[in-house]
């Protein structure tokens, strides 16, 4: 009967929720750092204010928010926002928005994830031509959608989940319907 007590059940559930919360916090911290770097740490700047509101919406402690702003303002953190493009199952276009301090490492991780599932990254502009950036939200909206089979849709969701495990990945956009 070992492993069947109340604490072991709580422990496993807590580990899963803590891992998810950690991934969310890492993404929001990067967003705060890039916005703080743009505005020099001015908390009344709209971009930084939006990032702070996002952090509060996921219940990030104020200490973490302040530490991220301070680190970006003081330390010369060189975070870069990049866009990777690739084709997934059924020829679906995939845009991956990444915020990283080490672009070589990130590009290799993204490339490895794509190749692990049998897909490849495209060159710059190979997929982005089919998307338009929404000025209000900053999201990429597909100009045309693509119908894919159920098996391709399942493969796409598996690929997207694998890409989202990378802490540097901020957003993923596809033109799958």
Residue 1 lies in a domain: no
Domain CATH code at residue 115: 3.30.70.980
Taking each helix axis from N to C end, the angle separating 46-57 and 62-74, rounded to the nearest 10 degrees, works out to 150
Nearest residue to 167 (alpha-carbon basis) of 118, 109, 93: 109
Domain that holds residue 58: 6-74
Q: What is the pLDDT of residue 42?
A: 83
Q: What is the pLDDT of residues 90-126, one digit of tens each?
A: 889 999 999 887 889 999 999 999 999 988 898 898 9
Distant-in-sequence, close-in-space partners of 130: CB < 8 Å, separation ≥ 6 = 93, 142, 143, 144, 175
Element (H, E) at 153: helix 150-164
Domain count for the chain, please give it.
2
Among 30, 47, 74, the domain-final residue is 74
Q: What is the pLDDT of residue 109?
A: 93
Residues 97 and 169 sit within 8 Å (Cβ to Cβ): yes
Its sign, for the CA torsion 132, 134, 135, 137, is negative
User: What is the pTM for the complete model shown?
Assistant: 0.66
pLDDT digits (tens, 9 = 90+) for 148-177: 999 999 999 999 999 988 888 888 999 988
Note whether 38 and 88 are same-domain residues: no
**pLDDT value at position 75?**
58
Last residue of some domain: 74, 94, 128?
74
Position 147 in a domain = yes
Mean pLDDT of 76-94: 85
Q: Are residues 150 and 90 in the same domain?
A: yes
Same domain, 99 and 164: yes
Confidence (pLDDT) at 3:
61
* Per-residue model confidence as pLDDT tens digits over 23-68: 889 888 888 888 888 787 788 888 889 999 999 999 999 999 998 8
**Are residues 79 and 34 in contact, defined by beta-carbon separation less than 8 angstroms?**
yes
Q: Is 155 left (phi over 0), alpha (psi -120 to 50) or beta?
A: alpha
Q: Check which CATH number belongs to the domain holding 36 and give it.
A: 1.10.10.200
Cβ atoms of 156 and 107 within 8 Å: the answer is no
Res 77: pLDDT: 59
């Amino acid at each position: 009967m070992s492993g069947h007590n109340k604490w072991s059940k709580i422990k496993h559930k807590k580990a899963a929720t803590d891992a998810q919360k950690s991934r969310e916090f890492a993404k929001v911290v990067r967003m705060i750092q890039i916005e703080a770097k743009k505005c020099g740490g001015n908390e009344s700047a709209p971009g930084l204010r939006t990032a702070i509101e996002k952090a509060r919406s996921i219940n990030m402690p104020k200490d973490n928010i302040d530490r991220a702003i301070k680190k970006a303002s003081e330390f010369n953190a060189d975070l870069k926002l990049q866009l990777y493009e690739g084709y997934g199952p059924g020829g679906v276009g995939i845009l991956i928005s990444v915020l990283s301090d080490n672009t070589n490492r990130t590009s290799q991780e993204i490339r490895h994830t794509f190749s692990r599932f049998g897909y490849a990254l495209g060159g710059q502009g190979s997929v982005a031509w089919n998307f338009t950036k929404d000025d209000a939200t900053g999201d990429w909206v597909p100009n045309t959608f693509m119908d894919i089979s159920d098996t391709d849709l399942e493969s796409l969701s598996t690929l997207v989940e694998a890409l989202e495990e990378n802490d540097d990945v901020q957003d993923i956009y596809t033109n799958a319907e």
